[in-house]
Amino acid sequence: MFVCLRSRYGQRSRLSSTSMASKAIRRRPCVADTDKGSEEKRMEAATVTDSVSVTEPLLGNSTQGNKSKGYEPRTRLDFWDEKTRKCLHWAHVVSNFISQSARNIVNAISEFGSWLARFFGCSSSAERSQNRHTVIVDLSPLQEERLHSVRQRLNVPFDCSVIKHQDALKELWRLAYPNRQLPPLKSELWKEMGWQNSDPASDFRAGGVMSLENLIYFARNYPGSFQRLLHKADGERAEWEYPFAVAGVNISYMLVQMLDLLSGNRMSKAGVCFVELLEDDEMAFDNLFCVAFQMLDAQWLARKASYMEFNEVLKSTLVQLERELTAGGVSSVHNLPSFRMLES
């Protein structure tokens, strides 16, 4: 069955009854149908969710699993933080105890050292004071004669214009270097012996001619020790050594001061002992010079000293010599303990 319709444009359209019927039965879904479909979809989704959840590990990415995983490390961290705080506390306590104990020990040692220094310092000062105490000496005619001879030698300055002084200086060179040619009186070669200038005359100063005579006596009577000291043959030497010849001049001068040879009849204990040595040994001063020079070199090596320490070593050498000289029972320079170091 066909129905003819006129369109808005005046044309006719023919529709079949079947098409109209199909359009007529198309309708909007009802609420019940929608609810029913939604319910089915929710059940299907729930089924899928349940199947996925079952296949996951028990401590996987679930919410409960995340809570457990986050809580457990914090518990261990808190535990170790507490342990660390306790350890740090006790470490601090022990550290304070050790440092305090160390300070107490250092203070005790320091006080003990100060006490020892005061004790021995007082003893040493008393000994020096006793040795420097002067007395009037009653001399025998022989002692007086020999002491006068020594004092006369002290008053002679070195004069390069005096032939006798020139000859003495040349003799010292021949004894020191027997196989070498004698240089002029002014030459750089004299520095090899330990003079500070090319002209040795400028280095005698307070030592005078007597210091030159002491060096000659040393070279003649103890050539072994003289040569070893001149060439610095013993021990491990410093890069900047003491000058040999100038050291001899200084030793002569310091011996004069130690023995109070310029103080008339008033002498220290060391001076009195020296005068007693003159009774049997006219050359006691020269022999003491040789002993002092050997002692100086021994102390120099023991201290591993260098040039700038020469005065300190010289003073300590004379202190040791004075102690040996005044110890008692010394009737000759040969009885001094340090005399045995000399080599003929």
Q: Residue 169: its pLDDT value, please?
A: 97
- Nearest Cα to Cα of residue 225 among 324, 296, 321: 296
Relative to beta strand 12-16, strand 2-6 is antiparallel
CA-CA distance, 38 to 245, in Å (whole number)?
Answer: 125
SS3 for 8? coil
Query: pLDDT tens digits for the chain (344 residues)?
Result: 433 434 444 444 433 434 433 444 344 444 444 444 444 444 444 444 444 333 333 333 444 444 344 444 444 545 556 667 777 777 777 766 776 666 567 455 545 544 444 444 444 444 444 455 677 778 899 999 999 999 999 989 999 999 999 999 999 999 999 999 999 999 999 999 999 999 999 999 878 999 999 999 999 999 999 999 999 999 889 889 999 999 999 999 999 999 999 877 778 899 999 999 999 999 999 999 999 999 999 999 999 999 999 999 999 999 999 999 999 888 899 999 999 999 87
Q: Residue 69: its pLDDT value, please?
A: 41
Q: Residue 266: its pLDDT value, please?
A: 73
- Nearest Cα to Cα of residue 266 among 105, 76, 99, 135: 135
SS3 for 236? coil
Q: Residue 104: its pLDDT value, please?
A: 61
> 181 CB contacts (<8 Å, ≥6 apart)?
none
Residue 50 has a CB neighbour count (10 Å cut-off) of 9
Please list the helix, strand and coil fractions of the chain in percent, rounded to the nearest 5, in that order: 70, 5, 25
> 159 CB contacts (<8 Å, ≥6 apart)?
165, 201
Backbone region of residue 234 per phi and psi (left: phi > 0; alpha: psi in -120 to 50; beta: other values): beta
Q: Residue 86: its pLDDT value, please?
A: 73
Relative to beta strand 266-267, strand 135-136 is antiparallel
Q: Residue 329: its pLDDT value, please?
A: 84
Model pTM score: 0.63
CA-CA distance, 46 to 148, in Å (whole number)?
Answer: 136
Residue 273 has a CB neighbour count (10 Å cut-off) of 21
Q: Residue 251: its pLDDT value, please?
A: 97
Residue with tokens 């070195």: 158
